[in-house]
Structure formats: C-alpha cells, structure tokens
Chain A
Amino acid sequence: MAEILKFENVSKHYSNGVHALEHVNFTVNEGEFISVIGPSGSGKSTILRSINKLISITDGHIYLDGVSVSQQKGKNLRELRRKVGMIFQNYNLVYSLSVIQNVLHGCLGYMNGVKGVCGLYSEEDKKKALALLEELGMESFANNRASDLSGGQKQRVGIARAIMQEPKLLLCDEPIASLDPSSAKTIMDLLRSMTSKRGIACIVNLHQLDVAVKYSTRIIGLSKGEIVFDGAPEALTDERIERIYGTSRENLMIGASAND
C-alpha cells in the first residue's frame, strides 16, 4: 500500500508556551481509516491542521504524498491543499450561498483567474457536484440556501465539498460532535463508504470512543501532545484507554457498544 502521509518528529509549540505536539511520528497508507482520540487540548486539532498547513509546525517534517508540507508557499501550497479534503465540526459552509455553490467550492483549488473569483464553474463540474449530492441523498436541496439545512444535512454538504476536491486524504475534525445520534451514524457511515469506495485515506478526530472502535482500521491515542497508543482497535485495552485519558475507565462516558 502506498504511503500518503508521514509525520517525522513533529513538534508544535505555540507562542503562549503551550506544547501542542511533542515528537510525533506516524505514517498513513492509502485506504486507512484512522481515528485520533484523546482529551481536549491533547493536540488532535493541531495534528489535522498541520497536515494542510492551516497551522505551521515548529519542528520536524510532514510529508504529504512525498512532498514536505512546511516548505510550501503560495501556488504550491494551494496545490497541496487541494489534495486534502477537510470536514469541520461546525460544517464551515458559506451559509448565504446555495448548497450546490458550497459543493462547487471544492473545485476552487483547480481554478485560476477570473473564473474562480466569479464562480463560473464548468457544466462538467456542476454535473459532478449534482451526482455527489445524489450519492449523499441531498439532490433535492441543491438550490436551497445552506443556512436552511439541518445539522446532519450541513455535514453532508461538507462531505460533498471535500470529495469534490478529489482528495487523496480526508481530514475530519470532530465531524459528529454537534450532531444527534442518528445523524451522527449517517455521517460516519457515509464517511466510511465514500472514502473506501474511492480509496481515500481518512483521519478522524473523535471524542466518542465507541465510534472510533467501531469504524476505524486503526486508532491513534494522544495525551498532552504525545502519541501514547497507535494500533488496531482491538488492541485498545482498558489500561491503554486509561493512559490516554489519564483517568480510570469508570470515569469515562463511553457508548454501550465499546467492548462488545
């Protein structure tokens, strides 16, 4: 399996003295579905955002598709970013625009000059966007304002926008944290099926241990910016969970199916 992402001794120290990441090493291969778990402030968001340089790291190297991320600037950085789709906890749509316009934002990285600025997308791209919306069960909402959708629907638009980029890697920053249990399941199922169908590697930040165990092919546990667990979901014993969250298992709210 081809290697897509490599963290080499990566550290991130914020200027306020917080050490978000400490000597992080791991690699991601094509087709993997990885959950990153850990308490708030353990560096989960920093890991995701350093991959597409929304946050710059202070030390080490990140290689995306063999290219070092931290040295990229301007046009090269944009080309690198379009290989990486991203899904956010708050969906981060442009709410005054229509659903399909939001999906088409996924093409912006491929467009240049006046066309991209004015939003003159090709008919081909529009067809592709509609097909994606159909795949996600959202085709009837294509011309609705994004602000009129429910949370689960907004997140599906977020997924469509990310897949529209034809990414090699999908980053999901707590994609189900603001959703009800039923929408959350829909979104996780969709993420799993859409990425495996296309061979896209996926990294998901999660607070729900049971979800992480159920969906992932691999789990990375973070504590205070360090990786304290990296392995298959089956290997995530109580002892290791305690190591990640720094407290015994009884003190954690974990879904019922966690150890089935």
Chain B
Amino acid sequence: MTKKISLGVAGQKKMYTAFLIAAVILFVLTSVYTNFNPMTLVKNGDAFWSFITEDFLPPALPKASRIPGVLSSVLVTLALALSATTIAAIFAFFIALFGSEKVSPFPKFAKVVRGFATFLRNIPALVWAFILFSSLGIGTGVGFAALFITSLAFMVRAFVETMEDVSQDCVESLLAVGASFPQRVSQAILPSCLNGFLSWFLYCIEVNIRASTIVGMVGGGGVGLTLFTYIKGFQYDVALSIILLIAAMVIVVDRITGRLRKEISK
C-alpha cells in the first residue's frame, strides 16, 4: 500500500476547515445574542406577502399635480450629490498635498492631516446629518454640509494614496531642478495624478448619489424626503414608484460614471 500523494498546498485544507468552524460558531453566538430566528421570517411570511402585494403593488403614480414636484426633488438630490462632491474634491486636493510625507513641505505634519481625515471619514454621512440637523436645523444646505464632510475626508485619503503611488520619482527630479512647491504641484503631481483623482472623484459621486437620498430622508430634502413623506402618509404604492425612480437614477449615474472611469483609465 502506498500513501496517496496530496495535491493541495501544505496546511491550506486545515486553514479552510478552521475558518468554516469559526464562521458557524460566530453565526450561532451572534444569533443567540441578537435573538435572530430564521423561522420568524417564515412564520410571518403571510403578513409580509400581503403587505407587498396589497399595499405596495401595483406601483401607482402620484397625483398629476405632484409629478413636477417629485421630479424636481430628484434633481435636488442629484444636485446635492454633485455639488457636495465637486466642492469637496477641490478642498480635498489642497488638503491632500499636506497629507503625504513625500509631497508635503511639512512632512511631520502629514500624519496629523491623514489622522484627522480618517477620523472624519469613519463617522458615516448619516450620523453627520443627524448631528448637523440637531444643531443647525433641517434643510438642503445642512444635507450638503453632511455630504461635504464625509466626501472631503474620503477623497483626502484617496488622493494621498494616489499621490504616494504615482509621483515620487518626478517630484524628486523637479526638486533637483530647483522647482518650488507650487511648481512641483502643478508641473509634476497634478499631471501625473489627474486621472487617478478624477477616477476617485467619479466613484465618490456614485457613493454620494445613494448617500444624498438617505441624508434627504432624515431632513436634507430632495427625493429622499419625498419618499419619506409618502411612506409616512401610508401611500405605499406611490412610494414604490419613487423607489423605482431612485433605483433608475442610481443605475443611470453608475453607468455614466463607470463609463467615464473606464475612459480615463485607458
């Protein structure tokens, strides 16, 4: 009898088994902790289905007089996302210059800038929205501020990474010719990182289209608020049309930005 020859990478099988066991144990523990019971869904299935079929379906159009208002609220959401992202990108560029040790004229300060951006970023836009609404009141302007803060922090991080990846060599050569900091930025960093910056900017727009809908629901205005109004008024069939409208809007924006990002990376 010869021993079978093993084909796998040594130790890999053991690792996968360990992961599987750990995942099962975690599922059981967390289910107990959160009182989650898969059977609840099945037991209450009837109520759920009747809600879907009777209240939600079929989707209904809002009153004809309301339609322009709904459409303009979609525009508000789009505008909110676009303006917040664009202005945040401009600020993020200048801040990011000071967030990279290799680019910044004050390298010791770079960690502080990055740390601050990370801190701001790890608070979700929705939480910012609540904080700002509680202190400044509701409105599109405050929704703008909430989106601005998170996208600024996100893009500072992304822009710093882009700069660290790309421009070390050309920054060194421009240092050697005696170029000043603004010259190095405009002649080396900006041209070599512009595509990377634009790509992150477009990604951020994608994220913010979704985020601005949610921020709108809690008081930022736009289509999110319209949706919330219909849900609160128990007009679920109209709400469904608006949900479909939001989905369409997100898909269209995703496709456009996705296409642009592909063009840029060519």
Task: Give the distance in Å from the alpha carbon of A31 to the alpha carbon of B150 in the complex.
Answer: 58
Task: Give the distance in Å from the alpha carbon of A79 to the alpha carbon of B191 in the complex.
Answer: 24
User: Given the complex, which residues of B lie within 8 Å of A80, measured CB to CB?
Assistant: 178
Q: Which listed segment binds B: A4-12, A62-70, A111-119, A203-211? A: A111-119
User: Given the complex, which residues of A lie within 8 Å of B187, measured CB to CB?
Assistant: 94, 97, 101, 105, 108, 117, 119
Identify which of B170, B178, B182, B191 contacts A92 (C-beta below 8 A): B170
Are B177 and A165 touching (Cβ within 8 A)? yes
Question: Given A94-B187, A94-B192, A118-B186, is A109 in contact with B178 using a C-beta cutoff of 8 Å?
Answer: yes
Are A96 and B176 touching (Cβ within 8 A)? no
- Contact digits for A82-98, partner B, Cβ 8 Å, 1 yes 0 no: 10111010111111110
The DSSP consensus for interface residues of chain B is helix
- Contact digits for A47-81, partner B, Cβ 8 Å, 1 yes 0 no: 00000101000000000000000000000011111
User: Given the complex, which residues of B lie within 8 Å of A109, measured CB to CB?
Assistant: 177-179
List CB contacts (< 8 Å) of B185-231 with chain A: 185-188, 191-192, 194-195
Task: Give the distance in Å from the alpha carbon of A162 to the alpha carbon of B56 in the complex.
Answer: 71
Are A108 and B192 touching (Cβ within 8 A)? no
Are B173 and A105 touching (Cβ within 8 A)? yes
Are B177 and A93 touching (Cβ within 8 A)? no
Question: Given A92-B170, A116-B183, is A105 in contact with B191 using a C-beta cutoff of 8 Å?
Answer: no
B131 interface contact, C-beta 8 A:
no
Question: Given A95-B192, A105-B187, A117-B186, is A161 in contact with B173 using a C-beta cutoff of 8 Å?
Answer: yes
Identify which of B173, B178, B183 contacts A93 (C-beta below 8 A): B173
A225 interface contact, C-beta 8 A:
no
Question: Given A108-B187, A119-B186, A119-B187, is A93 in contact with B179 using a C-beta cutoff of 8 Å?
Answer: no
Task: Give the distance in Å from the alpha carbon of A67 to the alpha carbon of B182 in the complex.
Answer: 26
B161 interface contact, C-beta 8 A:
no
Task: Give the distance in Å from the alpha carbon of A201 to the alpha carbon of B220 in the complex.
Answer: 66
A106 interface contact, C-beta 8 A:
yes
Task: Give the distance in Å from the alpha carbon of A119 to the alpha carbon of B179 in the complex.
Answer: 12
User: Given the complex, which residues of A lie within 8 Å of B70, measured CB to CB?
Assistant: none
User: Given the complex, which residues of A lie within 8 Å of B182, measured CB to CB?
Assistant: 116-117
Identify which of B177, B180, B191, B194 contacts A161 (C-beta below 8 A): B177
A: contact size bracket: 35 or more
Question: Given A81-B175, A108-B174, A108-B177, is A96 in contact with B183 using a C-beta cutoff of 8 Å?
Answer: no
User: Given the complex, which residues of B lie within 8 Å of A97, measured CB to CB?
Assistant: 187, 191
Are A88 and B178 touching (Cβ within 8 A)? no
Are B192 and A105 touching (Cβ within 8 A)? no
List CB contacts (< 8 Å) of B58-80 with chain A: none
User: Given the complex, which residues of B lie within 8 Å of A96, measured CB to CB?
Assistant: 191-192, 194-195
B169 interface contact, C-beta 8 A:
yes
The distance from the CB of A163 to the nearest CB of chain B, in whole angstroms, is: 11
User: Given the complex, which residues of A lie within 8 Å of B178, measured CB to CB?
Assistant: 77-82, 108-109, 165
User: Given the complex, which residues of A lie within 8 Å of B191, measured CB to CB?
Assistant: 94, 96-97
In the complex, besides A82-B178, A94-B188, A161-B173, 13 extra interface pairs with C-beta distance below 8 angstroms are A54-B176, A78-B180, A79-B178, A84-B176, A90-B169, A93-B173, A96-B192, A105-B179, A105-B188, A108-B177, A108-B178, A117-B185, A165-B177
> What are 28 sample pairs from A and B whose C-beta atoms fall under 8 A apart?
A52-B176, A79-B178, A81-B177, A81-B178, A82-B178, A84-B176, A86-B177, A88-B169, A88-B172, A90-B169, A92-B170, A93-B173, A96-B191, A96-B192, A96-B195, A97-B187, A101-B187, A105-B173, A105-B188, A108-B177, A108-B178, A108-B183, A116-B180, A116-B183, A117-B182, A161-B173, A161-B177, A165-B177
Chain B contact residues, CB within 8 Å of chain A: 169-170, 172-180, 182-183, 185-188, 191-192, 194-195
Chain A contact residues, CB within 8 Å of chain B: 52, 54, 77-82, 84-86, 88, 90-97, 101, 105-106, 108-109, 111, 116-119, 158, 161-162, 165, 171
